[in-house]
Amino acid sequence: MSSRFVCAMLLLCAAPVTAQDFTFVCSDFEFQVDSTIDQLEFTLPVHIWGPGAPMVDSQGFSMGLAHDPTALNVLAVDFALPFTPDFFQEFLHVGGWSAGTIYAFLGGVFVTFPDPVAVLDVTYETVPGYLTGATQVLELTFDELGVPPVENVVVVAGAGSFAALDHGSVTFGPGSFQRGDLNADTVVDISDAVAALSVLFIPETDPPICMKSADVNDDSNFDVSDAVFLLSSLFVFGAPDIPEPTICGVDPTDDVLPCAEGCL
């Protein structure tokens, strides 16, 4: 750890620590993956909220977040507030990261947290081979990481205030989707057939975010037969119904169609 980082944090954190007026928030996140996805890169925000001090001016903060090193690697920790601080330093550890910032050494730059505010953007990637396509849950836990350990504090008037810690998690899993809902408006109707035909026959048309929804006849492919099947189910008396899930649910068929985002 650099001496500049240590000196900077000591400068603002030397005064006595006050009550937990601030909360560090790492929310719960979900990513839809299946057996076709071996590795995933993603970016998560970390927030600070000051429910006990909504209008108190902060001068900086430091924090650390731990994860399972057999599941994730951290690639980057980026300052997310809309200005360039005088000091910002991040450290990437095996199994976590830590970071600290001072907005302005001479004062004049302050941030309040009346609502949760994204202060950092953290980019991770899964360890190759970790994802299985089944549901997997990883805990993201605020911790004091590094040597010396970086404390989870917000700096106010030169004093460090220990933050309350709202830990988070990341869930990877097959996710849910609605078969036939190509345009993701939660209703299966003729507009979805139009969307299917547009993707198939109009160049540069964006495909559905969840290709499983486009596999209307559940044959593990997406082609013109899916548009025909959808139109038949809507307008031909006695035609086969669309296979499950016809409301938000998990695919009963093991196929390789990607689904980057499904339904809720």
| Contact (Cβ atoms closer than 8 angstroms) between residue 208 and residue 240 | no
Q: Are residues 14 and 127 in the same domain?
A: yes
Q: Mark 173-209 as b/e (b = at least 16 C-beta within 10 Å).
A: bbbbbbbbbbbbeeebeeebbebbbebeeeeeeeebb
Q: Are residues 20 and 63 in the same domain?
A: yes
Q: What is the pLDDT of residue 260?
A: 66
Q: What is the pLDDT of residue 17?
A: 44
For 76, the 3-state DSSP assignment is strand
Q: What is the pLDDT of residue 4?
A: 53
Length of the chain: 264
Alpha carbon distance 170, 193 (integer Å): 34
| Contact (Cβ atoms closer than 8 angstroms) between residue 40 and residue 126 | yes
pTM as predicted: 0.71
Q: What is the pLDDT of residue 103?
A: 97
How many domains are contained in the chain? 2
| Distant-in-sequence, close-in-space partners of 196: CB < 8 Å, separation ≥ 6 | 182, 214, 216, 222, 226, 227, 230
Q: What is the pLDDT of residue 19?
A: 58
The CATH number of residue 50's host domain is: 2.60.40.680
Q: What is the pLDDT of residue 10?
A: 46
The β-bridge partners of 145 are: 150
Q: Along the chain (264 residues), what's the average pLDDT of each consecutive run of 10 residues? A: 51 48 92 80 94 87 97 98 97 97 94 96 96 89 93 91 95 86 94 96 90 94 96 96 92 77 70
**Domain boundaries, position 192:** 175-264
The last residue of a domain, from among 156, 173, 190 = 173
